[in-house]
Amino acid sequence: TPAREVLTWDRFGEVTRELARDIWDSGYRPEIIVSVARGGLLPAGAIAYALDLKSMLVLNVEFYTGIGVTLKDPRLVEPSGDVRGMAGKKVLIVDDVADSGRTLRFVKELCEEYATEIRVAVLYEKSRSVLKPDYAYLHTDAWIAFPWSDKDPVNGGQAEA
């Protein structure tokens, strides 16, 4: 088993800043950020502030039901933002990691029905990902511990996911 990759809050702050810098320097000027909940919420928020962008659309996508256990396909679950909000816009999709890449491929295909231009930004890219993100700052094939999800929930994890 590969060692676990640990992202600290400090490093998260640096990485989102650098990603936003890369996006800006590439000349891409997104008009709306599509955040893939829940993993993409904090990265998307940090990148939105760094890009001085206020327009956010949250898509709630379900794929994993446990560590390494997935549904047959990723799917949109309620409540999600109104996808028509990205009609005719340049979109930046933000998520925590492209692992299998299937979640991002699903989200990108959904966005393609509405948006004029789409790019994808992630903190981490894994080598097996079926979707190649336009912006990825870190690369690993290990299981990643993110600072927002590396501790047990305060209720001991008893609520439904």
First to last CA, the chain: 26
Q: How far is the CB of 105 from ligand 5GP (least distance, A)?
A: 8
To 5 degrees, how large is the angle CA 93–CA 44–CA 34? 35
3-state secondary structure of 34: strand
CA distance 58 to 78: 11
Q: How far is the CB of 160 from ligand 5GP (least distance, A)?
A: 17
**Closest-CA residue to 75 (of 55, 61, 89):** 61
Total number of residues that touch ligand 5GP (CB under 6 A)? 17
Told to check if 103 binds ligand 5GP by CB under 6 A, we report yes
Per-residue contact track with ligand 5GP, 24 to 63, x per CB under 6 A?
---------------x-----------------------x
Q: Which residues contact ligand 5GP by CB under 6 A? A: 39, 63-64, 95-104, 143-144, 146, 149
